[in-house]
Structure 1
Amino acid sequence: MNHYHSWQSWIQQMMQQMDQQQKMINQLQKKIDQLQSVEHPPKTVIEKIEYHFDQLKIETLEGTLQIGLTPTGSDLSDIGDLYNNQNKQLPQTDDQALHFLQQYMTSDIPGWMNQYTRDHDIQVSEEHKERMITDIRKQLPQRVEYYRNQNPEAPPESLFHQIQTEIQHSIAQYFETFEGDDVE
């Protein structure tokens, strides 16, 4: 047996492996050089996330529909404060604004809701609309008080228009996410 031949093949095999390893080392060195040459390595940036709790978002209608729940600038520290403030007696001008709003909820909002649901092809039962109106009516004194605190000199008509706009906006936002009732 010729030992020279087996040693020669073994050395040749080792040389091939060393060549392959050298090629791999060269490729890895190029990748390292590329990564180091990048001026600004890619970073994961998480943008500022803002939650707007003053906007109405309702998934199911149960309980009370809160419009303008603890809006910016409110000094309410607890949701219970909203209900504690319900029993305060409003000044005369605020009573007028509240009276206008109650009339508006009776005379205009049902028609406005019907038109909106027709225009946007949303199926909402009359019972559902009545529950919404009832819930909003319960919140009117707090909303009048909130806007009065923001602008103590505002006439009742101004309060009425601000809250009227807020009511329509809140209902529209609710309907945008509402999937519809099974209306027969």
Structure 2
Amino acid sequence: MNYNQSWQMWIQQMMQQMEQQQKMIEQLQKKIDRLQTTEHPPKTVIEKIEYHFDQLKIETLEGTLQIGLTPNGSELSDLGDLYSKQGQQLPQNDDQVLHALQEYMTSDVPSWMNQYVRDHDIQVSDTHKERMIEDVRKQLPHRMEYYRHENPDAPPETLFHQIKSEVQHSMAQYFETFQGDDDR
């Protein structure tokens, strides 16, 4: 084989590789242009997540039972005064209950979820947590109707605490069966 022929073959191979790379660059550039000019970027579709609150079983009930004297010797006329003095305004009607629950979902639930998944070493993406909160938020009016139907004479603050407890309990149960996210 001639020295010139080997150089020619090598140059020819390099030219072929360069042509292939140039074609690939052009294809990638076309894809980039299409993605940039698309008004609606591709979206991930998440199926509906359903929580069946009425099928949950409460195994543990936690809280504080105040019998007789009030804490720190304060003079409160009833238990409602105790809770309102602690900074939380109790709802007086069903509309206020829904509003208070919506605020609870915005202000308290995200930190509760973060603490729960941290304590139980569960991998859940922020997007997944936001979808859960939004899904539960949509169900609040139905849960309100359910509890109001079950106990028409229940005071609004009782409904608020029942639904609040149910939300935490159902989310905890969901996390217990959740296998985890990889897209953290």
- TM-score, normalised on structure 1? 0.53
Give the count of matched residue pairs: 105
Counterpart of 1:173 in structure 2 is 173
Alignment of 1:15-26 (within 5 A): none
Whole-angstrom CA distance in 2 between matches of 1:97 and 1:67 = 20
Q: Which runs of at least 4 in structure 1 moved beyond 6 Å after TM superposition?
A: none
Which has the greater radius of gyration? Answer: 1
Q: Which consecutive residues of structure 2, in runs of 5 or more, have no partner in the other structure?
A: 1-45, 57-91
Whole-angstrom CA distance in 1 between matches of 2:129 and 2:145 = 25
Alignment of 1:121-132 (within 5 A): 121-132=121-132
* 2:49–2:135 contact (8 Å) kept in structure 1: yes
Aligned amino acid, residue 179 of structure 1? Q
- Percent of residue pairs bearing the same amino acid type: 67
Whole-angstrom CA distance in 2 between matches of 1:119 and 1:152 = 38
Whole-angstrom CA distance in 2 between matches of 1:180 and 1:145 = 32
Alignment of 1:1-184 (within 5 A): 62-68=47-53, 93-184=93-184
- TM-score, normalised on structure 2? 0.53
Whole-angstrom CA distance in 2 between matches of 1:119 and 1:70 = 26
Q: Which consecutive residues of structure 1, in runs of 5 or more, have no partner in the other structure?
A: 1-60, 72-91
Whole-angstrom CA distance in 1 between matches of 2:111 and 2:50 = 19
Q: Secondary structure at the match of 1:153?
A: coil
Q: Which has the higher contact order (CA 8 A, sep 6+)?
A: 1
Whole-angstrom CA distance in 2 between matches of 1:172 and 1:150 = 24
Q: Deviations over 1:83-113 (max 9, x none)?
A: xxxxxxxxx8211110110000000000000
Aligned amino acid, residue 176 of structure 2? E
* 1:67–1:136 contact (8 Å) kept in structure 2: no
